[in-house]
Amino acid sequence: MLTTRLFALAALAIAAPAFAQQDGTVTQAGAARDSSAVAADTQPTKAKGQSRVPRYIAAPIEIQHMRAPDQRGLNVFESPKEAGAAYTGFKLNIGGAFAQQFQNLTHQNTAAVKPGKDASGKDVNLNALIPIGSGFNNATANIYFNAQLARGIRVAVETYASARHHQESWIKDGYFLIDGSPFENALVDKLMEYTTLKVGHFEINYGDQHFRRSDNGQALYNPFVGNFIIDDFTTEIGAEAYLRHGGYLGMLGVTGGEVHGQVTAPGQRGPAYLAKVGVDKQLGSDLRVRLTGSMYKKDRSASNTLTSGDRAGSRYYDVLENVTSTETANAWSGAIQSGMKNRVTAFVVNPFVKVGGAEFFGNIETQTGAAATEKQRRTLRQLVGEGLYRFADNKLYVGGRYNTVNGELAGIPGDITVKRSQVGGGWFVTPNVLSKIEFVRQNYENFPSTDIRNGGKFQGFMVEGVVAF
C-alpha cells in the first residue's frame, strides 16, 4: 500500500507543474509533418470582444537544417535537408533538455552463491541482488549550442550537464553540418541541393533507432522510458556524406571507430565504415512509409563502443546488479552489451509506417564480432516491434514495445535470450513538456547458474517527466 501511494504521488509530482498549460496554442510555422504543433486555443476570453491570450508560443527556428528539440522533432530522423529557416547572418542558439524518473521496480534471480568481498573487505555473495525500492532517480540534463556560420553551414556542440555514468559535465559531441557551399559556384550549389556533409565528433548514423531513443536528458523523442536491450549508440570522429532526393537516401561514412581520438597502439586500431540506404515517402496526407538499411564494419579496435557508447547509462537503475554495485560504475543495468571489439560487422533494417495517428517502428538486427581475447566470432540478434497511437491532436499517445535479444555472449556457452515488454503512454502537456508512464517486464533465459542473470527478472512501473527547448 505504501509503495502504491508513493508511486501515485510521484506520477502527480512529475506531471502537475504544467497542468495549467494543458490547452496550448502554438503559432510557430514549419512544424514537423508528423507532429501536431498547432492546437486551437479553447480558453475563454477575459472579456467579450477581447483577443485570446495564447497559452503557448513555440520558439522560432532560427538555425537552418536543425531538428526541433520539442514536439516538432517527433519522427524526424536525419537532420532535415530543407533549410527550415531563412539565412540572415550569424545566429547562436542555446537550448537544453532534462529528464527525471520515478522508479518502482522489483527484481529477482536464481543464481548460485558466488563468494567474494565488498569494498570494505567484508565477505559477500556476489550473485546476491542489491536491495532496491521505490524512489526518484537523479535528474539528467543536456545543453545544446548551435551556431549558423554561413548559409547552409552550422556547427553543433552538445554537453551532458549531468548523466548517470558521468555525473560531471561532459562534452558529448561537436561537428559541422554542411548543406550549402561556402563559395559561389553554380555547379557546387547545384550539388549541395542533394548533398549533406557531417564532419567532426558526432553520433554515428547506424540504424534509425538512435533517432527515437532517450539521449540522457533529451527523452522527448522516445515514447517509452527505456531504450532497447542492445542500445546501439556511440560517438566517433570522422565524416558522413549523404545524397538525398525525392525521398531517397544514401550515406557513406568513415570514422576512427572509437569514442576517443588516439594515435597510440596503431596495430590495434583501424577505421570503421558505415553505409545507409533508404526511402522515406509521404504517400498521401495520412500515410508515411520509411524503410532503411544500415551497415557498420570495423576490423580492429582497442575499444569499440557501438553497443556501449552511451555514457548516460540505463533508465532502469540497479536492476540485476549485485550488492557491491554503484550507480555510476554499473550504469547500464538491464542492457546487454556485445563486448565485441574486433572484426565487428553489424546490419540493421528499420521499417517505419505512420497511418493517421497510428505508428509502427521495427528493428531487425544482426551483429557479429569478437572480443580482443576471443579467437572465434559470435553473433547477437535483436528484434523490436513498436506500435503507437497518437490522439487528441497528438497531445496523448498509448503504445507497446516488444524487444528480444538472442545469441552468444563472451564466456557463456550456448545462446542466451533476453525478452522485454513495455506498455505505456504519454501526455504532451505543452509541445516541450512530456509526462510518460510505462510498465516494463524483462526476463533472462539460458544464463548459467554462475551468472547473476540466471533466472533473472525485473518488472514494475516507471514514470518520467521531460522538458526540452
Question: CB neighbours of 298 closer than 8 A, spacing ≥ 6?
Answer: 257, 270, 271, 272, 273, 304, 306, 342, 343, 344
Work out the percent of the chain whose per-residue pLDDT is above 70.
Answer: 89
Q: How confident is the model at residue 53 (pLDDT cuts 50, 70, 90)?
A: confident
How confident is the model at residue 304, as a pLDDT?
86
Q: How would residue 344 be classed by pLDDT, with cut points 50, 70 and 90?
A: very high
pLDDT at 51: 72
Among 265, 257, 262, residue whose Cα is nearest residue 236? 257
Residue 85: CA count within 13 A, CB half-sphere: 23
- Confidence grade of residue 259 (pLDDT, cut at 50, 70, 90): confident
At residue 96, the 3 state secondary structure works out as strand
- Across 111-131, average pLDDT: 94
SS3 at position 82: coil
Which tens digits make up the pLDDT trace of 176-202? 999 999 989 999 999 999 999 999 999
Selected residue with higher pLDDT from 15 and 243: 243
Counted domains in the chain: 1
pLDDT of residue 2 exceeding 50, the answer is no
pLDDT higher than 70, residue 6: no
Nearest-angstrom CA–CA distance, 289 and 351: 8
Mean pLDDT of 281-300: 96
pLDDT band at 30, cuts 50/70/90? very low
Q: Tell me the per-residue pLDDT of 105-117, one tens digit each, with 9 for 90 and over.
A: 999 999 999 999 9
What's the average model confidence in pLDDT over 199-226?
97
* Mean pLDDT score across all residues of the chain: 89
**Residue length of the chain:** 469
Distance from CA of residue 427 to its chain's centroid? Answer: 19
Question: How many CB atoms within 10 Å of residue 459?
Answer: 17
Amino acid (1-letter code) at residue 392: A
Residue 46 in this model has a pLDDT that exceeds 90: no
305-308 contacts at long range (C-beta below 8 A, 24 or more positions apart): 305/234, 305/258, 305/259, 306/206, 306/232, 306/234, 306/338, 306/340, 306/344, 306/346, 306/367, 307/230, 307/231, 307/232, 307/336, 307/337, 307/338, 307/340, 307/367, 308/234, 308/332, 308/337, 308/338
> Is pLDDT above 80 for 26?
no
pLDDT surpasses 80 at 1: no
* pLDDT-wise least confident of 5-19, 210-224, 317-331: 5-19
Whether the per-residue pLDDT at 42 is higher than 60: the answer is: no
First to last CA, the chain: 37
- Cα separation, 109 vs 200, in Å, equals 44
Residues 148-171: tens digit of each pLDDT: 999 999 999 999 999 998 878 888
CATH code of residue 99: 2.40.160.10
| Residue 419, strand partner residues | 404, 443
The alpha carbon dihedral of 253, 259, 263, 266 has a sign of negative
What phi-psi label fits residue 222: left (phi over 0), alpha (psi between -120 and 50 degrees) or beta? beta
What pLDDT, on the 0 to 100 scale, is given for residue 17?
Answer: 40
Cell of 70: 520539442
345-364: average pLDDT: 98
- Judge whether 32 and 75 are in contact, CB under 8 Å: yes
432, 71 Cβ separation under 8 angstroms: yes
Question: Which pTM was predicted?
Answer: 0.88
Q: How far apart are CA 89 and CA 155, in angstroms?
A: 14
Find, among 314, 341, 344, the residue nearest to 329 by Cα.
Answer: 314
324: containing domain: 2-468
- pLDDT band with cut points at 50, 70 and 90 for residue 47: low
Tell me 322's DSSP state. Answer: B
pLDDT in tens, 384-412: 999 999 999 999 999 999 999 999 999 99
Per-residue pLDDT at 311? 84
296 half-sphere exposure, CB direction, 13 A CA radius:
29
Exposure b/e, 41-67, CB count within 10 A at least 16 = b: beeeeeeeeeeeeebbebeebbbbbbb
> What DSSP character marks residue 312?
T
Q: What is d(CA 359, CA 85) in angstroms, rounded to the nearest whole number?
A: 28
Cα-flanking dihedrals φ and ψ of residue 300, to 5°? -150, 145
Q: Under the phi-then-psi rule, with left for phi > 0, alpha for psi from -120 to 50, and beta for the rest, what region is 392?
A: left
Please state whether beta strands 433-445 and 457-468 pair in parallel, antiparallel, or not at all (unpaired): antiparallel
